[in-house]
Amino acid sequence: MSAAVAERITDLFNGDMPDDANWLELLLKNRLDQLPYPGRGGTLERWKALAAVAEFDLSLTKLYEGHTDALAIIDELAPGSAATSSGAWCVWAAESPKGRALIHGNGSDVELSGSKHWCSGAITGDHALLTAWAKDEDLPHLISIDLDQPGIAIDSDKWKAVGMASSMSVNVAFDGAKGSRLGKAGQYLSRPGFWQGGAGIAACWYGGAVGIATALRKGLLESSGDDQQGYKLASLGKIDLALEETGAILRHAARWIDDHPFFDASQVALTARLSAEKCAKSVIDEVGKAMGATPFCLNEKFAKAAADLPVFIRQSHAEKDFAALGERSLTREAPAWSL
């Protein structure tokens, strides 16, 4: 079903639409947000859809990935209820000392105070899932809120991004905003979908890298033999290798998740994320070396993607994630390094 979704997404982007189309709205209106949930046999198809959007626009992907992740989370924690949801969802789970939401009330309905940082889609979204803390508890709760209500203040003044600018990942403050609990305390982090969704981000980075790599490949295909100098082909070769490696890791991770839907997917997710991060960096570097400054300065779509991708991959936790992967390498039962 959703191999077709990725193709239909690409068809939509290649169709006859104004440049300033509201793409997220169009994706939702065409039900191109209805992806297989992770771990149900269609994980790769889900990731192909994420990558297809990423190849087109990375800020849009941030919103689309958040929305589709929210639907998967809702289905995991309250089975059946995602099907009846409408509008665009956001997921705000970043935690920082200055961006911390608190919940008040013991029942399923709660009020919120405090704030959240990094709230992609706050301005355009309809609902959000956010992590928030009850006093004296050390596990976060997941709270579902409607964004169109008093008690929510969006502060976009601090958002100065150039890369990922239109993801508008702004600060949001709460003063008595109403929400309801989804799942139990800590379940947002402990559910299998946490790492399965985290691996989906790698598919977004991969799609972004494919978009940038395609500019070089297309340029070389369109140029005469004389312009296909060896150094450009060498860059394309390195890019090909990086994308093939990460593609293989992503396909393996998707298969593993489908075969082990209730297992801890942190190892395959960390591997996919770190590989996609490395691949994205290498693609940006090699395309730059082969093509020079020209596409960065004269090709608007390329320039935007090349500004967006380095910012988007900073959602990787870098050395922290390498250490987490090393930890898992030490504790894995089967020897992992055999063919």
Ligand X SMILES: Cc1cc2nc3c(=O)[nH]c(=O)nc-3n(C[C@H](O)[C@H](O)[C@H](O)COP(=O)(O)OP(=O)(O)OC[C@H]3O[C@@H](n4cnc5c(N)ncnc54)[C@H](O)[C@@H]3O)c2cc1C
Nearer to ligand X, 42 or 308 (CB): 308
Cα–Cα–Cα angle for 156, 162, 163, rounded to 5 degrees: 110
Q: Using an 8 Å Cβ cutoff, are 277 and 309 in contact? A: no
Shortest distance in whole angstroms from residue 142 CB to ligand X: 12
Q: Please, what is the minimum distance in Å from the beta carbon of residue 146 to ligand X?
A: 17
Q: Which residue lies nearer to ligand X by CB, 122 or 265?
A: 122
With respect to ligand X, which residue has the nearer C-beta, 99 or 151? 99
As a whole number of angstroms, the distance between CA 173 and CA 151 comes to 8
HSE-CB of 278 using CA atoms within 13 angstroms: 17
For ligand X, the closer CB: 179 or 219: 179
Instruction: Cite the DSSP H helix spans in 36-163.
Output: 43-56, 58-77
* Nearer to ligand X (CB atom), residue 151 or residue 310: 310
State in angstroms the smallest separation of the CB of 246 from ligand X. Answer: 20
Question: In the bound complex, what is the minimum distance in angstroms from residue 47's beta carbon to ligand X?
Answer: 18
Q: How far is the CB of 7 from ligand X (least distance, A)?
A: 27
Q: Is 292 left (phi over 0), alpha (psi -120 to 50) or beta?
A: left
Q: 60 and 164 in contact (C-beta within 8 Å)?
A: no
Q: How far apart are CB 112 and ligand X at their closest, in Å?
A: 15
Rounded CA-CA distance 39/44 in Å is 10
For residues 105 and 310, which CB has a smaller minimum distance to ligand X in the complex?
310
Residue 160 buriedness (CB in 10 A; 0-12 / 13-18 / 19+): exposed
Site residues, ligand X (CB under 6 A):
62, 66, 90-94, 118-120, 164, 167, 169, 311-312, 314-315, 317-320
